[in-house]
Amino acid sequence: MSASLRGVDAEVALPWDGLIAVVKRDCPTCRLVEPVLAQLGPGLTVFTQDDPAFPAGIGDVRDDTALDVSLALDIETVPTLLRFVDGVEAGRTEGWLRGAWEELAGVDGLGPELPEYRPGCGSRIHDPELADELLVRARGGTLSSRRLEIAVLEDEAEAMFDRGWSDGLPVVAPTPARVLRMLEGTTRAPDEVVAVVPPNLVEATVEKVAINAVLAGCRPEYLPVVLAAVEAACTDEFNAHGLLATTWGAGPAIVVNGPIAREIGMNAGGNALGQGNRANATIGRALQLVIRNVGGGRPGEVDRATTGHPGKIGFCFAEDEAGSPWEPLSVSRGVAPGTSAVTVFAAEGPRGLADQISRTPESLARSLAAGLRSVAHPKLPMAFDATLVVCPEHGRVFAEAGWSRDRLASELADLLALDPAEIERGAGGIEEGLPAGAATGPVPKFRPGGLMIVYAGGGAGMFSTVIGGWVGGPGGSQPVTREIRR
């Protein structure tokens, strides 16, 4: 009679009653206990991980170079001695410890010439050179995406360009092992549907998002952020389809709040909106690759941007919560303090706004308002949303004056109530503008809630940043905040 356990990808047969030892020749302790194994006699079955000829002098040595038994028994260390009773494991001991072996075997006087104790070695199931193969054997069955072959003579990078998976930069090959490791970044099941991705309205599973996160160059710990960003972007409020299809050049951008930003090493400081930080660069890119590859949203097809901007490769940064005089953006948008969250918003390329002279909040707010006025066009009110990234040296001016984020927003709204005489068609010699008589009083530049204020940037430089958006409100795109689920 034999017991049966589910192995990594097969059933394995084990003795119903008796002793089992798992060993490898490469381990000095295993070689040390070779005579002890011989001493244990016919009630012993030995599984050998590396050399089927080892150990010598044993009646029942079985080849476990495929590691099925080792994986089924979850062997962490060799040698491991186990006792099976009535088909189930009744006990085990790792390494060589005479007393433990004698108790488990029910035999006295084992290995009299051996030392009392020798630690074992690592089991081959943890051998780095086998890690990928074992991972795919163990859990490859949980993946349901189509498997494609890149032939021997194909260059893998070129092959992926040819298949249209890239935004123009090289992508990382989404091998099953890489995708499985990516999926370790979340507790969510691979087949869970994250969102319905425009423009083709395709259901994106956690697995599909993970594949694109691999392409983008993400580490597994970024995956929860990518998943939350995909969820947020694929809402009716954010309207990723409209943002993609418009001839205006904006694309989705992501602000990350909460402890995960620091845990995964995101940049909220100097050059936060720039290059050089893997998390910032690849999380934004992963969202765009999901829209491209899963949703089918490609430039020249549904993406009709007249010029676009380089941040459409990916645009993601963290808020500098530690340095900020204000509550985190996510908290002001309804997320509990201490909870990680993403906020997606429509974004053009960022543009600096230099004011190195203002030391009063009133003066500085006027500078910022002057910069914000040019979003879409200086003469167009209620056209597009915008995001203002306040840098630390500007933030300090507001902090010292006790201005909250809401106070700044409200002062900016007052400063951005545009005089109809200045924005009528023809005013200032510019034909663009509101039709004459369309406004009888001051017109707000931004719709209520259409200006988002974020705090980020390096400690030196009185340079805040304006990020123009797109049509705001229910007929366009509204910023969307989502908690990050691990």
Q: Site mask, another protein, residues 95-134, x = CB under 8 A?
A: ----------------------------------------
CA neighbor of 447 nearest in space, from 405, 364, 386: 386
The CA angle 307-384-341, to the nearest 5 degrees, is 95
If the CB atoms of residues 392 and 476 are measured against another protein, the closer one turns out to be 476
212 in contact with another protein (CB under 8 A): yes
Residue position matching structure tokens 């992963």: 286
DSSP at 235: S
**Contact call for residues 5 and 14 (beta carbons, < 8 A):** yes
Q: Compute the distance between CA of residue 324 and CA of residue 326 in angstroms, rounded to an integer.
A: 5
Which residue in 33, 28, 32, 30 sits closest to 48, CA to CA? 30
Candidate list 225, 471, 480, 484; residue touching another protein; CB under 8 A: 471
| Min separation Cβ 383 and another protein, Å | 12
Decide if 457 contacts 412 (C-beta within 8 A).
no
Nearer to another protein, 177 or 401 (CB): 177
Nearer to another protein, 242 or 461 (CB): 242
Is the backbone peptide bond immediately before 199 cis, with ω within 30 degrees of 0?
yes
Kindly state whether residue 147 participates in binding another protein, applying the rule CB under 8 A: yes
* Element spanning 101, H or E: helix 98-105
Task: List the interface residues with another protein, window 223-262 (CB under 8 A).
Answer: 239, 241-242, 246
CA atoms within 13 A on the CB side of 95: 10
Which one, 94 or 385, has the nearer CB to another protein? 385
Contacting another protein (CB under 8 A), which of 2, 200, 356, 360? 200
Rule CB under 8 A: choose which of 53, 152, 357, 421 binds another protein. 152
Taking the complex as a whole, the smallest distance from the CB of residue 195 to another protein amounts, in Å, to: 13
Residue of 39, 65, 145, 339 that binds another protein (CB under 8 A): 145
The residue within the footprint of another protein, chosen from 15, 55, 79, 176 (CB under 8 A), is 176
Per-residue binding letters, 280-319, with another protein (x by CB under 8 A): ---------x---xxxx-----------------------
According to CB under 8 A, which residues from 393 to 452 bind another protein? none
What residue has token string 């009133």? 362
Q: Which one-letter amino acid corresponds to residue 432?
A: E
215 binds another protein (CB under 8 A): yes
Among the residue ranges 23-31, 142-150, 366-374, 450-458, the one whose residues contact another protein (CB under 8 A) = 142-150
Nearer to another protein by C-beta: 152 or 322? 152
Q: Where are the beta strands (DSSP E) in 154-293?
A: 193-197, 202-205, 251-257
Q: Which is nearer to another protein, 25 or 377 (CB)?
A: 377
Strands (E), 404-484: 417-418, 443-444, 451-455, 463-471, 480-483
Q: Is 306 exposed, middle or buried (0-12, 13-18, 19+ CB in 10 A)?
A: exposed
- Residue 455 tokens, joined: 């705090």
Cα 56 from chain centroid (whole Å): 50
Give the burial class of 196: count Cβ atoms within 10 A of its Cβ; 0-12 exposed, 13-18 middle, 19 or more buried. Answer: middle
Residues in the interface with another protein (CB under 8 A) total 38
Q: Rule CB under 8 A: is residue 174 a binding residue for another protein? A: yes
Here the tokens at position 74 are: 């979850």
By CB under 8 A, tell whether 146 contacts another protein: yes
Identified binder of another protein from the candidate list 98, 137, 208, 379, rule CB under 8 A: 208
Nearest distance from residue 309's CB to another protein, in Å? 19
Closest CA to 414 of 453, 366, 462, 342: 366
Q: Which is nearer to another protein, 1 or 148 (CB)?
A: 148
Name the H helices within 387-462: 392-400, 405-415, 420-423
| CB-nearer residue toward another protein: 64 or 167 | 167
In whole angstroms, give the CA distance from residue 240 to residue 230: 10
Q: How many CB atoms lie within 10 A of CB 168?
A: 8
| Site of tokens 């295993």 | 30
Q: Which one of the spans 63-71, 196-204, 385-393, 431-439 is the region binding another protein (CB under 8 A)? A: 196-204
241 versus 312: smaller Cβ distance to another protein: 241
Q: Which of 44, 179, 346, 451 forms a contact with another protein (CB under 8 A)? A: 179
Q: Which of residues 62-101 bind another protein (CB under 8 A)?
A: none
Site for another protein, rule CB under 8 A: 143, 145-152, 156, 160, 165, 173-176, 179, 198-200, 202, 207-208, 211-212, 215, 239, 241-242, 246, 289, 293-296, 471, 475-476
